[in-house]
Structure 1
């Protein structure tokens, strides 16, 4: 039998890892691989309008589907266009493989030549070199293995001169062990359990690394009679539990913030405890902190815990519960003191607004009521998102994607597309600011139209860069440099093949919500907001 070309072997290796959908843009160094993935192996290729968008789509696809996301770009500027997206995905701990073509090794003066390894390293992503035509299977397998065990993007470098060479292909898939085999015993475990057992007001906090351990964490919390909270990345994990206080930190309700202040021991599972979670350390002051994470680098990253365990969240929770039972430790009784009616209730909004604008909080409350309940919720970055996180629900953490791990704006619509393809039978709701939509949304809105996605885009439009606008206002300075006269986003949505409605009053909001029920494809609601009357950011 004739030996396959390298481009076909790469596509074969990707397919061997169970990949059905690949996002990307084609160029000189990857077009034949993409063609083979589709024609020879039955894969689906989703072309983006911009290379960084492809990485973001793959990242959201991975988050919602719990599979490795896959994207591909060609060399030179195609990869440099992915830097922000790779950084976002790396900081979000997303398992993702980016197949990146590279210029010929024997032409160091190639116009699009660049040191890819050095470039990728700055983003926090990993790098795997395709070493030779004979090692394709092993190199592809290593990229997928590392993406899963390191929980970050891995860039697989594919030299263009290899593509039409031939070599035997051998299937290579490395088994991945993602759960530690046990919890540390001895003094470390004893100290942690001792702190938990002696607490009178313990609280269980779950982050993105503990999403799969919901049942074990609930059992531990019920055993301790401790309330449950999450970080933003685990939003909605404890929906419907009677002692769920929702998001922990600067996004907490006033009642939940006070409850956290009263607690004396925070047991943290799968969270890095950054400044927004701890309110820059204030919420952890004078408390015992037990931190449990499968990732050793997460321990002590945000603050120094009193006890730490390197362990899977579910296994650790089971172990702690077992020893509490063995020692016959009584429940704390903390939850018996709680007024559950106020724990998750944020202050209500008002319909009052200046002429030509809608009140943002009131609009969010109406959207929470009217949007499809089985939604996947995606949020861009920016001033408006904190109220969305607090007031708009998601069914579970896998149905919530926030693009704020790098503090960037303009990443939301791209991730909404990836989320939509990972959950094709469910509507996706994206909240974005006007600046973020102009920066990264317009160029991919038509991609959503081409794909026929059930996508609802809500633009919080104050015709300004809001976070900067409010800083000028707070200092009694002229904010005009932050203000813009954007085109009509509703008309842009229509020109790109979707539908859109502009909302400047409560009556128009109700009309938009009625039209929403009859949508046929991507649908945009442009909420016109007064830049002087928007709730301040909570982070």
Structure 2
């Protein structure tokens, strides 16, 4: 008698993972190899999930939640790739929100993974440790995507949706939260596919052709680039060279065209030329300064390329709006120009005269200019410079030479004091083989001075230059100039910064001149180990007449 056929054994059933493990697996799938975190009860399962896969993802812990988010921000700004941090709910989450706001303002793909109290108790005001009302609603104010992971089954999908949102259209941050009891809930795990930034194949050909006609008819065109053009450097250069149009970059757009390119101009030069411009091509920029401060009129035609559908009409409607990828649209515009006409024989502006004017004006910004020259002299050509809200930082936005995109890291319009050191730690952590120099004032550096210990803990070879003038420089200047020299809350008493650094295991140097700074910086960069250079300085001349300039049109 024949026996019944055996029942086949299932050998390829999905793995059973808990929510934390599934979330970490989804991060790894999407190329996220670092989680910046400060451990705590509500995220213990998440940290344990990272430990289990420590060969594929590392956890860099800091001394304050703000630093974890800033580190993720720096890593995102310097690479253009998604980065992640984790914090406990309530006070831990709130400590990260300044960095999330900066990520929103700088279009940085930063994912915040936030813990929560037990799921059934959320928003019931019981008094749990770190309980907060409507945490995910708060997150929605500073993130493109904010959602709670409600079960293990949906963890991979929610994390994938968050990464998709971070990379789509105008990039930006996302936040997901998970309750303590949900982290350990288990379910079958089906791996997700890596999220890729969508290619913008469907370009508006009519808009491109219209833009090309306007560009060919223009006599004095100018190109203005922002952070949205960082991945379109080659295309922007081709456009500029075809039209022989100057390219204005400032802060987030610096490096899209090299500082030493003959068509490169910066903010005050652009302001001087602005009344003569008859066409502006704005690529990946809010163009807030030009539209709201310098002024517009009916004689100025406007072409905009932007990933954000709301951006072109935020101030006034442009003549042409192309919504999508900056590189794709700029390349298409160059092709249309090459097909439709001949390039101009020369730039309509005397940029050599403008360069001479800027050099003369920059001579008034001493010692900032000399200190920046010292940093540029010691920093390799491919090194990364991290800007901070300080007197030398303001001058750097005008005077520091930048040769490639993402080599000048700036906080953008939030301009939040104290952002720099934690952000720069993330820059260096994500770019360990490149030299990274951050600057800070004595006021701003104290926001995250405790992270010197983090640099030593993880051997993050960042060099920070602290310019110490014993004051909040901008605050004091405004009080002197506008409030009858009634000085309040502007003077600062600081620690011995070198001793502070050395007590944390970070090398400390002193430099009292630009020459000493360049020498100390060279030594510190050669070591590729955490270092601080203390520069004692006094009050510095104001750069603001070259940054905030009056209306000249409209």
Q: Following the alignment from structure 1 to structure 2, what is the Cα–Cα distance between the partners of residues 513 and 5?
A: 47
How far did residue 173 of structure 1 move? 2.8
- Please list, as runs of the form range in 1=range in 2, the aligned pairs for 1:510-525 lying within 5 A after superposition: 512-513=520-521, 515-516=523-524, 519=527, 521-525=529-533
Is 1:157 the counterpart of 2:177 in the alignment? yes
Against the structure 1 CA distance between its residues 136 and 332, is the aligned structure 2 distance closer, same or farther, given a 3 Å change threshold? same
Q: Aligned residue for 2:284? A: 270
Determine whether 1:293 maps to 2:293: no
Any idea what the Cα deviations from partners look like across 1:96-145, whole Å, max 9, x if unmatched? 21111111122331242221122112224420221212222222211221
**Aligned-partner SS, 1:398:** coil
CA distance in structure 2 between the aligned counterparts of 1:271 and 1:352, rounded to whole angstroms: 27
Structure 2 counterpart of 1:356: none
Structure 1 residue 232 displacement after superposition: 1.9
- For residue 122 of structure 1, what is the aligned residue in structure 2? 141
Which secondary structure state, in structure 2, belongs to the residue aligned with residue 133 of structure 1?
coil
Q: 1:90 matched to which residue of 2?
A: 104
For the residues of structure 1 that align with 2:331 and 2:501, how far apart are their CA atoms? 50
Q: Secondary structure at the match of 1:72?
A: strand
State the alpha-carbon separation in 2 of the partners of residues 305 and 351 from structure 1: 37
CA contact (8 A) 1:221 1:228 kept: yes
- Structure 1 residues 459 and 279, CA, compared in 2 at 3 Å: closer, same or farther? farther
Question: Given the alignment of the two structures, is residue 180 of structure 1 paired with residue 182 of structure 2, yes or no?
Answer: no
User: Equivalent residue for 2:186?
Assistant: 166
Aligned to 1:81: 95
- 1:342 Cα shift? 4.5
1:16 corresponds in structure 2 to: 29
1:465 counterpart = 2:484: no
- Counterpart of 1:103? 117
Question: Quick one: distance in 1 between partners of 2:40 and 2:432?
Answer: 28
Verify: 1:131 aligned to 2:150, yes or no.
Answer: yes
| More divergent stretch after superposition (32-41 vs 157-166) | 32-41
Counterparts of 1:96 and 1:364, CA distance in 2: 30
Greater shift in the superposed pair: 17-26 or 333-342:
333-342
CA–CA distance in structure 2, aligned partners of residues 76 and 491 of structure 1: 34
**2:458 is equivalent to residue 451 of structure 1:** yes
| SS of equivalent residue, structure 2 residue 385 | strand
Cα deviation for residue 284 of structure 1 reads 7.1
Worse-superposed segment, 331-340 or 521-530: 331-340
Which residue number corresponds to residue 246 of structure 1?
265
Listed one character per residue, the Cα deviations across residues 372-401 of structure 1 (whole Å, up to 9, x for unaligned) are 333111112244422012222333122221
| Candidates 37, 46, 50, aligned match of 1:37 | 50
CA distance in 2, matches of 1:198, 1:437: 50
Give, in angstroms, the shift of residue 273 of structure 1: 0.8
Write out per-residue CA displacement over residues 32-85 of structure 1, whole angstroms, 9 at most, x where no aligned residue. Answer: 222222323521100011112111111111222222101111222111111111
Q: Which runs of 5+ in 2 are unaligned?
A: 1-12, 549-554
> 1:295-444 to 2 correspondence within 5 Å?
295-327=308-340, 329-335=341-347, 338-340=350-352, 342-343=354-355, 345-347=358-360, 359-440=367-448, 442-444=449-451
Q: CA–CA distance in 1 between the matches of 2:225 and 2:518?
A: 37
Contact 1:128/1:157, CA 8 A, preserved across alignment:
yes
**SS at 2:187's partner residue?**
coil
1:206 CA drift (Å): 2.1
> Could you say what secondary structure the match of 2:327 adopts?
helix
Query: Is contact 2:30–2:195 with CA below 8 Å preserved after alignment?
Result: no
Superposed CA offset, 1:425-471 (max 9, x none): 1111001121110122x011221122222222112222111111111
Normalization by structure 2: what TM-score? Answer: 0.87
Distance 1:410 1:7 in 2: 32
The TM-score, its normalising length taken from structure 1, stands at 0.89
In structure 1, stretches of 5+ residues that fail to align are 354-358
Instruction: Give 1:502's aligned residue.
Output: 510
Would you say 1:143 and 2:156 are equivalent positions? no
TM superposition shift of 1:87: 0.6
Corresponding position: 1:62 with 2:81: no
Secondary structure of 1:296 counterpart: coil
Native 8 Å contact 1:503 1:512 kept in 2: yes
CA distance in 1, matches of 2:362, 2:524: 22
Following TM superposition, by how much is the alpha carbon of 1:515 offset from its aligned partner in structure 2, in angstroms? 4.6
SS in 1 for 2:120: coil
Question: How has the CA–CA distance of structure 1 residues 104 and 264 changed in structure 2, closer, same or farther, with 3 Å as cutoff?
Answer: same
Distance 1:286 1:351, change over 3 A: closer
- Alpha carbons of structure 1 residues 281 and 348: separation in structure 2 relative to 1, 3 Å: closer
Matches of 2:303 and 2:216 in 1, distance apart?
Answer: 12
CA contact (8 A) 1:493 1:499 kept: yes
Deviations 1:307-361 (A, max 9, x none): 212132222223323333333x3333441653437438533766999xxxxx333
Map of 2:486 onto structure 1: 478
Change in 2 beyond 3 A, CA 1:509/1:147:
closer
Q: Where does residue 7 of structure 2 map in the other structure?
A: none
| Higher mean C-alpha displacement, 75-84 vs 529-538 | 529-538
Given the alignment of the two structures, is residue 226 of structure 1 paired with residue 245 of structure 2, yes or no? yes
3-state SS, counterpart of residue 154 of structure 2: helix
> How far is the alpha carbon of 1:536 from its aligned partner?
4.0
Give the count of matched residue pairs.
525
Corresponding residue SS for 2:75: helix
The DSSP-based 3-state class of the residue aligned with 2:293 is: coil
